Structure 1
Amino acid sequence: MKFTVFLTGLLLLFLLPDWTESVEDTDDTVDINTLATVDINTLTRIINFFERNYKRVDTDGHPRQYATAINVPKDQCQQNFNLNTFLTQENAAIVKENITDETYALYQGEELIAAGTKKQKKYNMHSESLLLNPANNSPMTNLLNKRKDGCSVFYTFESPCVNTCLNASSKHNIIDALKNWKEHDGIKAFVFKDFWKFDIKKDLQTAFRQIVAHVPLFRCVSENECYACKGEGNTPIDEHCLPPKEIQLQ
């Protein structure tokens, strides 16, 4: 019996160094950027800032579609967010003037880009496409290149449309741009508020998973209420990020 215990002890001592080394090696391969996430309360404050400063509104008070994106130091997306140092290089009046002009509809600054909708002969160019296309040389590409490990947040007032923005066969889709954004280090968040009116009865569960496949998706519905949409792997999109079921069944 003593001899058996002695042999077992020797075997454990022999294996222990290799086991310890394998654990350490595994830890070394973890990319800490994959563990970083936006603070949900801070995200609420960021989106509220966008809505107060850049929101497009008609003379009758009706809100209009716009989108904006930032690439700021990581701490601006975490609990120590400081409004006094947030986007101080951008002039809100100029941003709003640019994105309201539907012949141009675009603003490109140091830490912020923004877009309204641009009039074309037969249709309006959507703000998401204006910021994210062409995928390899877009305003978003240039913005992300300015800070390789910054916190990047993309906000669109209305969710990306299913037939164009999230349709891989459309020349104006944003999917390739999302793939590129996925490779950017640091915190990432794709955020929307309302649903594109023509998509309310469509399969947004499937459509939104095309976003989640590349960057985390959030919905911010008010100045103090944001939700993580989830949808990673086999998990479903959270119900807060989908139209109410009674509306979809009408």
Structure 2
Amino acid sequence: MVAVKGLILICLLQLSVQVDVNKIALAKMMKYFDDNVQPKPGAQYAIAIRLTKNQCTDEKFSITSVFSLADAKIVKETIKNGQTCELCTSPKNVIAARPKSEDPKDHSEYRLLYPVGNSPMDKLLKNVDKNSCVVFYTYNSPCVKECISGEKNILDGLSNWKNKLKDGINVFAFQSIWGKDVTKDLPNEFQKIDKIVPLYQCPEAEQINCFKCRGQKTTSYCRTVPDNAYYQYINY
């Protein structure tokens, strides 16, 4: 009986292990987006793509096999014109948006995650299962004032995403810290996102790797504090 209970416990522990995205594969995706989707250098935009777990965990995975240069061009032209890409390519595996320049409170992350229940993200998640992986990338980190703490924050949208893909791989990544937030309490603010969806930084200077903000290894971008309660960004 003891042996059986022990075996059951081991099986449960194995089932609870969270599979992580391969950080090198993720970095390659981010570079591909910036090279082929970003409207112009330094311009804010957000994009999400639906993949499989195998594609997200294979360092040798090439994103062009599921998101071609031709499709990337379609997405780029769509968001350059101020429109939201809602599965705008034939594989129907990508959504993307830019903020509306005429509305200072309009943010690309919010446009993809809302309205909850009928958002571009909901449409992307329509056919996901336990073998799916969804990667959400925003060029600048979500701003504290609006995206994290404001009335139009993205937290409910992230929870909706997580609830629809509980057993798959979920990734929220960004490249640069939003310039107006460098003096904010980023460890405390960013953990609000990381508690829902694992958060990564893929800095431009490190085009071959991304950094998990609650990983065990100290890096120049994020580190784990002793109680693992939140992470801290250093060397902005």
TM-score normalized by the length of structure 1: 0.78
Unpaired segments of 5 or more residues in structure 2? 215-223
Q: Could you say if the C-alpha distance between residues 189 and 232 of structure 1 is closer, same or farther in structure 2, counting changes exceeding 3 Å?
A: farther
- Higher Cα Rg, which structure: 1
Give a deviation string over 1:182-226, Cα, whole Å, max 9, x none.
231211111011111221111111110001111111000122131
Query: What is residue 108 of structure 1 aligned with on the other side?
Result: 86
Query: What is residue 202 of structure 1 aligned with on the other side?
Result: 184
Q: Could you say if the C-alpha distance between residues 123 and 214 of structure 1 is closer, same or farther in structure 2, counting changes exceeding 3 Å?
A: same
Residue pair 1:153, 1:190 contacting (<8 A) in 2 also: yes
Partners of 2:14 and 2:98 in 1: how far apart?
36
Query: What is residue 72 of structure 1 aligned with on the other side?
Result: 51
Q: What is the Cα deviation at residue 49 of structure 1?
A: 1.1
Partners of 2:3 and 2:70 in 1: how far apart?
51
Partners of 2:113 and 2:35 in 1: how far apart?
23
1:224 matched to 2:204? The reply is no
Residue pair 2:225, 2:231 contacting (<8 A) in 1 also: no
Backbone CA RMSD of aligned residues:
2.4
1:96 matched to 2:76? The reply is yes
Query: What is residue 8 of structure 1 aligned with on the other side?
Result: none
Q: What amino acid does structure 1 have at the position aligned with 2:36?
A: N
Q: Could you say if the C-alpha distance between residues 89 and 187 of structure 1 is closer, same or farther in structure 2, counting changes exceeding 3 Å?
A: farther
1:147 matched to 2:128? The reply is yes
Residue pair 2:26, 2:209 contacting (<8 A) in 1 also: no
1:37 matched to 2:20? The reply is yes
Partners of 1:50 and 1:156 in 2: how far apart?
10
Partners of 2:225 and 2:116 in 1: how far apart?
23
Q: What is the Cα deviation at residue 136 of structure 1?
A: 2.5
Q: Could you say if the C-alpha distance between residues 233 and 209 of structure 1 is closer, same or farther in structure 2, counting changes exceeding 3 Å?
A: farther
After the TM superposition, which parts of structure 1 deviate over 6 Å for at least 4 consecutive aligned residues?
A: none
Q: Could you say if the C-alpha distance between residues 27 and 144 of structure 1 is closer, same or farther in structure 2, counting changes exceeding 3 Å?
A: farther
Percent of matched pairs sharing the same residue:
32
Partners of 1:93 and 1:124 in 2: how far apart?
27
